[in-house]
Amino acid sequence: MSLRKKFTSVTPFSKALAMILFIILPIGAFFLGINYEKNLNLIKSGNQIGDSNPIEYKIIEVFPTEGPRDLIDRCGKIPSEKLGNPKKNHYTIVSDPVWSPDCRYIAWSVFQSGTSIPDTNSNEISYQGPYPQEGVFLYTDRTGDVIKISDNGIFKNWNGSKKFIYLENNEEKKFEINSGSILNN
């Protein structure tokens, strides 16, 4: 099958069309790629334009029998700069910071002793806390924020991906991350 000469010959119009396509298509593809990447990042983070309550996104396979060391291997190193800076010259107990099973949060607690005589009429030595650097803390990996959940609790363990249990005044309490509520366990 042979095509007619008018369809196979080079004309000024075909030269101009080829030149325009040669310039426009790569530039257009570049901008489409940039737009695609922006939309992909919005989808991954769960954000919609103007969304004030974004959904978190992190693809992690959860293994229910993992220990804290396994979680560190899977989720990554715990950022020590986020764990706070306890006062020196105090006896300090820091519970091991533990990743949540879905690798989105880290929870831990800090307790420091600090004793003194409260008044001159008493010979009792009493605890002067809670200090600002003690309590139960929660770190959000996506935002890098640390929030204080309780002033004088001790982190115990995770109860699923969005809840953890801690002790406060010898009473077990459960903190639910989604609602921000504290429940007696």
Residue that wins the pLDDT comparison between 26 and 43: 26
What's residue 152's pLDDT?
80
In this predicted model, what pLDDT tens digit does every residue of 79-88 receive, in sequence order?
777 666 655 6
100 and 107 Cβ atoms separated by less than 8 Å:
yes
**Secondary structure (H, E, C), the chain:** CCCCHHHHCCCHHHHHHHHHHHHHHHHHHHHHHHHHHHHHHHHHHCCCCCCCCCCCCCCCCCCCCCCHHHHHHHHCCCCHHHHCCCCCCCCEEECCCEECCCCCEEEEEEEECCEECCCCCCCCCEECCCCCCCEEEEEECCCCCEEEEECCEEEEEECCCCEEEEEECCEEEEEECCCCEEEEC
From 150, 152, 161, 151, select the one nearest 183 (Cα to Cα): 150
What's residue 91's pLDDT?
64
**Which pTM was predicted?**
0.56
Peptide bond into 54 cis (omega under 30): no
In this predicted model, what pLDDT tens digit does every residue of 129-165 receive, in sequence order?
566 678 888 988 888 888 888 888 888 888 888 899 9
